[in-house]
Structures are given as C-alpha cells and as structure tokens.
Amino acid sequence: MSASTPARSVDLTGWRKRNGVSLSAIAAATKISVRYLEAIERRKFDSLPGGAYGVNYVRQYAEAIHYDANMLVEQYREETSEPELRPVDTWAQRVWRRVRSIG
C-alpha cells in the first residue's frame, strides 16, 4: 500500500505513527480533544458530536496525519448516516432568486 492510496481498512493509529504525528500534537493544533481523536482512530464515529462538528473533526484528523480526508469523511457519513452538508440559503439569496424569476 502506498502513502498516496490509503485503504479503507488501514490502521489509522499506525498510519499516524508512521507519519510521526502524536495525538497531543493534533489536539494542540486542532483544539479537538484527545478523546475524540482516539474515537476517530478506532472508527468509533458514534462517539463524536454530530453534524458539522463530527465531519470537521474527522477531516482535520485525516489532514493532520496525511490521510485521504475525503475517504475518511465518506466512511464517517456511511457509518453514521450523516447527510452531506450543503450551503445554507441566505435570506438575500432567496429574495434575489425571487426577483429574478419575476422578471
């Protein structure tokens, strides 16, 4: 397995250690508690907060250990049934669309 193509079953703890990154360093850089980082490594995604927080924690962890962030976020979403987040429509955007549709 090459560093550029991580497998879905890769040991995240081993991956992190091979890249020379400690959990305490990730926690300091991301402000994510070690408890949540350990849950991500064990793929215990149900221990993470939901919504954007969980997705963001998983993404930041993956980036910190030089792992494929999109792949890990996809795994998180599959295992938690977390929907993909879409941008929120602002009031101004809704009004502008309405004005344009009127002509």
Is residue 86 a part of any domain in this protein?
yes
Q: What is the pLDDT of residue 103?
A: 64
How many domains, the chain?
1
Length of the chain: 103
Rounded to whole angstroms, the Cα distance separating 82 from 42 reads 18
Structure-token pair, residue 86: 């879409």
What is the per-residue pLDDT across 55-99, written as a single tens digit (0 to 9) for each?
A: 999 999 999 999 999 999 999 998 888 766 566 667 777 777 778
> Would you tell me how many other CB atoms lie within 10 Å of the CB of residue 68?
17
Query: Which domain, by its residues, includes 65?
Result: 12-102
In this prediction, residue 3 has a pLDDT band, given cuts at 50, 70 and 90, of: very low
Is residue 4 a part of any domain in this protein?
no
Q: What is the pLDDT of residue 6?
A: 47
Of 50, 48, 63, 55, nearest to 16 by C-alpha is 63
What CATH number should be reported for the domain holding residue 50? 1.10.260.40
Cβ within 8 Å of residue 73, ≥6 positions away: 55, 58, 59, 62
Is residue 68 a part of any domain in this protein?
yes
